[in-house]
Structure 1
């Protein structure tokens, strides 16, 4: 919602209020609306960036919700606290930059304003730092994933999309410095600033939506797994489209418990002792896991096709008795009537 509002504000500012023109080409009657739309865009940008990062942190929590990775969880806690602090600070600063508030868009009114250039520059630098921290937080986790190289590269690529947001944020900060500190022609030099702000937020939303790309990525990983000699047939037999993203923290449990029998593994596939419930193993199945029915059919159907299982059991109602030889002799007999679509029993 905040991203849509920011995009609408950018379009409105450039198409209607002259934020793509020189400052001397804008009539004085439009300056009040121009500055109001600028304040609204700042607040919308702060809200959109904050909630985009929080959505990513929520995804990070889901990755380790069933694991003992306390270090990674605390890193996410610190990032969330930093992001929330940025949100409230920037909202307060953007709203009360001038005292009284209406002095920001009222030319000639009495009051006092802070240095907008310095305040906006500081906000831009802090925002870029938050984007960078949000991007590098899951990198140690991805580096410990046990998977083929192509799958690791695909997952690393998805998480590395955040660096693009960081780069765009640096460009936006440069234009903040140029428009609000170096030059006097505010509206002319702010035009690329508006564009960079919209691109930064939109790319951030795309990165936060990366888990939705699981079906597309799973097909790629299925192709990569079929051509990668490091991937084993056991993972394909279990019904995954590619090898499950599995990370093992052996330092947390140096003596894993012995393997337990598991009926879900085929007899000829050895059971991994690190997959026991007491082992600090967590599987990141958000993108690569597909159901058995999607790839190869259910395991029961495959085993029945190979003859490993007998015929399916008969469904017997509890009130139905087993047929006797005398019952088999009383087979219903019917003869067709004049209407061939109707049959009656005799």
Structure 2
């Protein structure tokens, strides 16, 4: 049976789902869902088939939205998604990782919650906020947000999170204890001589490479990086890229040496694609060299950015690559980035893009 490919799109005004068959040539679009809430991250649990959306803001409050029928109907819950009385309240859920009915949820202000019942109830994994560095964490431009959650597929207790602006933290015991893993990543906004601190980096996004190794890729406020030892050490891979600033990164589903990034022109230069000419940059050798992929992308007057969770791949052959822009366009490549097509336009600002393939 031919696979159905779903692209899960979180936006500032609800969730959308684009759908195609395995050829990925013709697409339909459904939505908006989730009562037009801001949905910062929309993901699927590939085991249960449930779709979960991390959403909310200071007005709505935080919640995880859930659909068990591929988006036809939705419910939401915030039960337990709160800090103890007297602490700054949780303003929004910003990221979610789902596996076998268990959810990890990153929130603002930065912290991590767990649900063991598919998003019905939540418990705070307090070990992260109990880390001695916590009083020194500073908010990034959008606030103090835990926006990236990476879980080792082979060892679920091994988890990496990205926090702006605290850096990357790692746990090997399911969230009881944590350690910063930022060695080799810069913090250019710190005073001279303090540019490589133990924590405090403004990490933008981290993903795990394919396979059994510990390779990670990262886009950062101050550079693009690769780690081959689970974040214990990072090395710059920005040589050959047009900028050292960007947000999203996506890894190949089968090849650990292949990844895609979308550099922007800089933190203080408008944060749009360099020269207003859109390109996705791909490496086939773990960041040693990069190739700009432009076929089908606008090459003039492209003043858009791409947010940290707004790029993803699928698991088909060849791998599909997807990204959504701040101006509401979803671009699709069915050939690993060689060519691109805009399959949805004029959506609200796209916050996240993820995929799900179903029979």
TM, length-normalised to structure 2: 0.21
Q: Which has the larger radius of gyration?
A: 1
Higher strand share: 2
Higher helix share: 1
TM, length-normalised to structure 1: 0.21
